[in-house]
Structure 1
């Protein structure tokens, strides 16, 4: 005969194997995605980043500041009616 604990174990084993299969498929898909990414040398990436920063420095509000008329965080002006 079969005892009741055997009926509970088999679905659990199936679930664990199925879950491992899904996890493995996700890992394979992620690895395929990462393998397809075009890679460049760090020195090339650093040079490109440096050039981008130099080309856009004049537009960077952290470097050149923001005119007070365009600054939404400026302190409010006091207003008087008289």
Structure 2
């Protein structure tokens, strides 16, 4: 019984390998160029690069209030 389980497991492995082999792949140079272009096109939306407007920043230091 363990032999048939081993055969079934190997058939699943072979099927997965065939599926992965049939996928279309990109060259690393093309993928990195696409990623660079995407980052440059969306840099104006990135708050880490542009900063958070002070009126929208929930973590800004609180203003002191003086009551007399």
TM-score computed with the length of structure 1 as normaliser = 0.60
Question: What is residue 19 of structure 1 aligned with on the other side?
Answer: 5
Structure richer in helix, relative to its length: 1
Q: How many residues align?
A: 66
Higher normalized contact order (CA 8 Å, seq sep 6+, divided by chain length): 2
Rg larger for: 1
Structure 2: unaligned runs, 5 residues or longer = none
SS of residue paired to 2:42: helix
Q: What's the Cα RMSD here?
A: 2.4
Q: Compute the TM-score of the two structures, normalised by the length of structure 2.
A: 0.69
Structure 1: stretches of 5+ with no match in the other structure: 1-13
User: Which 4+ runs in 1 deviate beyond 6 A?
Assistant: none
User: For 2:28, which of 39, 42, 47 is the aligned residue?
Assistant: 42
